[in-house]
Amino acid sequence: MDRLLGRNYCGDFFESNPSSQEALLQLLVRSLRKPGSTLEAIVAAKGIGLVFINAGDEQDELFGMVLSLLKNTITDASDVRLKHQCIETLALITLIAASNADTKGGLDYFFKILISNGQPLEPSDQTLKQGVMDELLCTTLRAYGLLYATVFGDGRGSWEDAWDESQGVMPVHIDFLESSSKENRVAAGENVALMFDCVQTSYKNTQEISEFEIDDKPEYEEIDDLIDTLQRLSTDSNRRVNKQDRKEQKSAFRDIIKSVEEGTRPKQKLKIGGQTMVFRGWARIMILAAFRSFLGTGIARHLQENELLENILSSGIQNVFDSDENSDEDSEEEEGTGEGFEMEEDMSLSRSAASKRERARRLKKSHKKH
């Protein structure tokens, strides 16, 4: 099923058979709730995400049908692989189908896991080893980043809301920059860069369209300490860390520090057939990565045929015709700093604008703005 829904676009079938999506989702819910094996549960959890990808973005009722089950499984499951999959699935379907208020609720949910150092991830009868917990926290960091990108990426919402949210969660991310896990350090660093990128982009957009004078964007009070930390991570030569990890960390943090210190936006290229799609900014790159995690090599077909991906990602794409039309490769990716690139005029995704939200270092209940 994963191969069918991942490598092929099945939205037309769901559209012509409206009851089929809900029926399939119910089967997957049953398999996740009472699986015959752990593998069946993992496949079912991923299948839920693939159904949402194939069936479009107007799925509020179906989102409510699986929300509690995914959260309960994240807490109660004894198998770490199942926890990972449920976290990834929950984040992705929230991006696809949740209301703006529910998406902010997802931000709060993942932040509570991070601020408690993973306590909600531990079953009542089990204590997870630190290495295992680090892996789960990395997945949670990436889930948080995905939803922050969904709510505030590319100028969505107000820069004040993006700023308040970033200030509330920045201390936790600073802590994770000192994690013993390289994956956690990189994930936290990318989230930090994402938040700086989103606030800056939203602020620039407000300046450009506002007829009135707007307040100056505040500066992060501990910016010097933050840059020192990022600089250290981008040049880390600690011999106790293996060579490959040092190389990956240095590469990641060179882009991160450029975004935080210079406002440089990264870019990623995805080549499909004779076209190269260029994704600019941390938000677009993170959203693309989430879909690629589920779709694998099927990302090319879904980008070409699936209206959902077109709606979510098209405003982040600049098509550049490949000069080598006879290339044998179907897809490849390339990362760079993105210097000198203009931002697209239409930078809205198919998401509602974020409502006003007051939050500074503590969580509050989100309300949908009517």
Is 89 found in the same domain as 139? no
This prediction's pTM = 0.83
Residues 24 and 143 occupy one common structural domain: no
Please check whether residue 366 lies inside any domain of the structure: no
Of the three residues 264, 284, 302, the one that is the final residue of a domain is 264
Arithmetic mean of pLDDT over the chain: 81
pLDDT digits (tens, 9 = 90+) for 185-215: 999 999 999 999 999 988 888 877 666 666 7
Write down the pLDDT at residue 361.
31
DSSP track, 12-41:
HHHHHSHHHHHHHHHHHHHHHHS-SSHHHH
256 and 192 in a common domain:
yes
Measured between alpha carbons, how far is 39 from 55 in angstroms, rounded to an integer?
Answer: 24
Looking at the fold, whether 152 and 240 belong to one and the same domain comes out as yes
> Residue 99 has which token pair?
């209301």
Q: Is residue 343 part of a domain?
A: no
Same domain, 119 and 93: no
Q: Please indicate, yes or no, whether residues 111 and 78 belong to a single structural domain of this protein.
A: no
37 class by beta-carbon count within 10 Å (0-12 exposed, 13-18 middle, 19+ buried): exposed
For residue 220, give its domain range: 101-264
Domain shared by 92 and 118, yes or no: no
Is residue 133 located within the same domain as residue 244? yes
CA distance 146 to 140: 10
Residue 255 lies in a domain: yes
Give the residue from 98, 122, 157 where a domain finishes. 98
Instruction: For residue 117, name the pLDDT band (cuts at 50, 70, 90).
Output: very high
Residue 107 has pLDDT above 80, yes or no: yes
Has residue 56 been placed in a domain?
yes
Half-sphere exposure of 191 (CA within 13 A, CB side): 32
Within-domain flag for 340: no
Look at residues 355, 301, 361, 310 and name the one whose alpha carbon lies nearest to residue 330: 301
Per-residue pLDDT of 146-176, as tens digits, reads: 999 999 998 888 899 999 999 999 999 999 9
Residue 272, strand partner residues: 275
Specify the number of domains making up the chain.
Answer: 2
pLDDT tens string 298-322: 998 888 888 888 888 765 454 443 4
pLDDT band at 345 (very low <50, low <70, confident <90, very high): very low
Q: Between residues 12 and 44, which one has the greater pLDDT?
A: 44
For 367, the token pair is 């309300």
Q: Are residues 182 and 209 in the same domain?
A: yes
Residue 85 placed within a domain: yes
Task: Read off the pLDDT band of 124 (50, 70, 90).
Answer: confident
Are residues 132 and 9 part of one domain? no
For residues 53 and 79, state if they share a domain.
Answer: yes
Asked whether the beta carbons of 159 and 202 are under 8 A apart, the reply is yes
Residues 86 and 181 in one domain: no
Specify if 26 maps to a domain: yes
Percentage of residues in the chain having pLDDT higher than 90: 53
Contact 103, 94 (CB under 8 A): yes
Under 8 Å between Cβ of 154 and 284: yes
Tokens 């990641």 belong to residue: 252
Whether residue 16 is contained in a domain is answered as: yes
Distance CA 176, CA 117 (A): 10
